[in-house]
């Protein structure tokens, strides 16, 4: 038994608090028991812990209601107070099939398991196919710190061709205060939902006629994207990157050589026939950058080379997982590839990590958590390469004092990596930057450079995504700031609000002066009342509102209000311009 429990502990994801993981996993089983008591013929699917909670999928005879959730939550508390132990045992495949004879989803899962790797957990009257881990007994779950949140539709295994199930989301914490804090953050997150704010602030949209998962950038979102891309480009140029541009499609042979058609085909779109040959929309930029490296003989003196591209890629995502800007089918990666000599590799990793963190800080992120993923069971490359790469990654994290956790065996088959996550203002972690070694593509494409000895040598290749993708990064930015962007990013930085039409000539002069200083300005010359104009500007989260009446026009001043509702009063126009330019330069809030 102890061996089974020790094995179960290894299934806790890196970065997840082990105690909370077990509480939430156990709460999911308690919820499933309550559901089966309410619907004895229910068909159950899977119920894992997730970030800050858990869910379980069910095939039920009717749609659940809010009253059902309240009833289930009450029954869960009764089960918890029963202090029922969670017992684990290994079973054979035949025994597992018999245990879940009336559960088709469990039968399908069992078929995918190894004969000697099947365990079940039981508490009270409920037994589930599960690898664990769990708490010792239900009493370790605080009945005052659980909450069932909502019901959503979910296709079995995320496949729209499979049955639609009902997914019950819940959360569980150690204490009632922790639950209360989480529910507050949940409400704040709802207010910050980038899909809602994207529409409200007129930043982007998704149109079904265009296609699900394909983003239309509106003018306000477009100018923000341009600002980010201009900053991105300037920083990369200063960082010694060379800019490259590559096609949106490539021949089948390219993707065969790279291995994508062997390992990644399910995420690629169907080929198109061009002159009798198959071409594919690119899911990644890497093979193109490799060919740029290979386009000429490279000397050891040429290295390191850093190729950067904002390359739009296309990946097939099932409709059930599409989510605003965060999960899309066409997106622009801020991609880069470093090619270097083995002796340059530690310095390149230092550079990549420092460069990434510095860039993210410019956007207002200050709280970072890194994850170092090491060699998996199946891998390419030799052990010496892996050891050197892993040591270099860990040494860099220690040098830059970036907090990190080890993800043993979590690397890709082609190399170890560092993932850098940022925490937003609600404390949520977002995966943004990745620095990934690749021992696969240099071999597949036979990359080489001429060393000091005149012989051919294989370079190290490092993938580096900094913002991840423009789409997802903007989703994170919107939710981080709740749409109230710092002045340098705000699509409209200043709105001019004339009190009467008599002052419009002066308003035009003010607008021209602001535009001359490259300050983004909008004039609200509508017939609405002044208070309505101010309220609208605040709803649009415009940083500065300049109210201009006859006195301001006569004095050559502007009356300054902030979106925070603070009234700064009258200010000389040139003093206001200087203030805004200083705030933009410093990349500050207001």
Residues annotated as part of the active site = 286, 315, 333, 335, 337, 417, 463
Give per-residue burial for 326-351: e unless 16+ CB within 10 Å, then b: bbbbbbbbbbbbbbbbeebbbebbbb
Query: Whose structure tokens read 């299934």?
Result: 11
Element (H, E) at 148: strand 146-155
- Which residue from 526, 407, 481 is spatially nearest to 224, judged by alpha carbons? 481
Whole-angstrom distance, CA of residue 242 vs CA of residue 21: 44
Whole-angstrom distance, CA of residue 11 vs CA of residue 32: 21
Whole-angstrom distance, CA of residue 393 vs CA of residue 360: 19
Burial of 253 (C-beta count, 10 Å sphere; 0-12/13-18/19+) = exposed
Helices within 48-121 (DSSP H only): 66-81, 93-99, 104-111
Query: Which is it for strands 305-314 and 368-373: parallel, antiparallel or unpaired?
Result: unpaired
DSSP 434-502: EEEE-SSHHHHTT--EE-TTSSEEPPEEEEEEEEEEHHHHHHHHHHHHTT---TTT-S--EEEEESSGG
Give the 3-state secondary structure of residue 520. Answer: coil
Give the 3-state secondary structure of residue 277. Answer: strand
């Amino acid at each position: 038994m102890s061996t089974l429990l020790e094995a179960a502990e290894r299934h806790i994801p890196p970065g997840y608090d082990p105690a909370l993981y077990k509480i939430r996993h156990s709460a999911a089983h308690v919820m499933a028991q309550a559901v089966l008591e309410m619907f004895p013929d229910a068909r159950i699917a899977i119920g894992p812990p997730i970030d800050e909670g858990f869910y379980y999928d069910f095939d039920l005879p009717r749609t659940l209601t809010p009253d059902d959730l309240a009833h289930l939550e009450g029954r869960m508390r009764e089960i918890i107070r029963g202090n029922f132990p969670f017992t684990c045992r290994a079973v054979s495949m035949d025994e597992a099939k018999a245990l879940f004879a009336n559960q088709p989803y469990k039968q399908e899962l069992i078929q995918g398991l190894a004969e000697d790797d099947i365990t079940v957990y039981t508490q009270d009257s409920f037994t589930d196919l599960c690898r664990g881990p769990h708490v010792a007994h239900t009493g370790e779950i605080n009945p005052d710190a659980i909450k069932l949140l909502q019901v959503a539709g979910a296709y079995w295994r995320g496949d729209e061709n499979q049955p639609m199930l009902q997914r019950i989301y819940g959360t569980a914490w150690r204490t009632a205060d922790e639950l209360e804090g989480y529910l507050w953050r949940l409400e704040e997150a709802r207010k910050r939902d980038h899909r809602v704010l994207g529409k409200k602030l007129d930043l982007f949209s998704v149109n079904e006629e265009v296609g699900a998962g394909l983003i239309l950038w509106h003018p306000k979102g477009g100018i923000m994207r341009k600002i980010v891309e201009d900053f991105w480009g300037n920083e990369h140029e200063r960082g010694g990157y060379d800019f490259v541009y590559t096609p949106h499609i490539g021949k089948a042979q390219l993707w065969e050589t790279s291995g994508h058609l062997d390992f990644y085909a399910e995420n690629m779109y169907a080929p198109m026939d061009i002159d009798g040959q198959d071409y594919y929309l690119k899911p990644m930029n890497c093979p193109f950058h490799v060919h740029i490296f290979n386009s000429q003989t490279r000397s050891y003196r040429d290295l390191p080379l850093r190729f950067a591209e904002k390359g739009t890629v296309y990946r097939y995502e099932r409709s059930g997982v599409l989510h605003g800007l965060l999960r899309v089918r066409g997106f622009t990666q801020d991609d880069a590839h470093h090619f270097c000599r083995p002796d340059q590799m530690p310095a390149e990793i230092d550079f990549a990590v420092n460069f990434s963190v510095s860039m993210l800080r410019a956007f207002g992120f200050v709280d970072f958590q890194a994850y170092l993923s090491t060699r998996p069971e199946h891998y390419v490359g030799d052990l010496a390469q892996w050891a050197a790469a892993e040591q270099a990654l860990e040494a860099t994290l220690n040098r830059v004092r970036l907090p990190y956790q080890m993800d043993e065996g979590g690397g890709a088959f082609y190399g170890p990596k560092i993932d850098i996550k940022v925490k937003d203002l609600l404390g949520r972690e977002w995966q943004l930057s990745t620095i990934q070694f690749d021992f696969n593509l240099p071999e597949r494409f036979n990359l080489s450079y001429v060393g000091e000895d005149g012989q051919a040598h294989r370079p190290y290749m490092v993938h580096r995504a900094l913002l991840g993708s423009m789409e997802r990064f903007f989703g994170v930015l919107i939710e981080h700031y709740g749409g109230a962007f710092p002045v340098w990013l705000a699509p409209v930085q200043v709105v001019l609000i004339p009190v009467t039409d008599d002052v419009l000539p002066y308003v035009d002069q003010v607008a021209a002066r602001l535009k001359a200083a490259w300050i983004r300005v909008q004039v609200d010359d509508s017939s609405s009342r002044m208070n309505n104009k101010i309220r609208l500007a605040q709803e649009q989260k415009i940083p500065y509102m300049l109210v201009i009446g006859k006195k301001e026009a006569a004095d050559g001043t502007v009356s300054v209000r902030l979106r925070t509702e603070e009234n700064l009063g009258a200010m000389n126009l040139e003093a206001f311009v200087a203030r805004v330019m200083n705030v933009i330069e410093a990349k500050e809030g207001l």
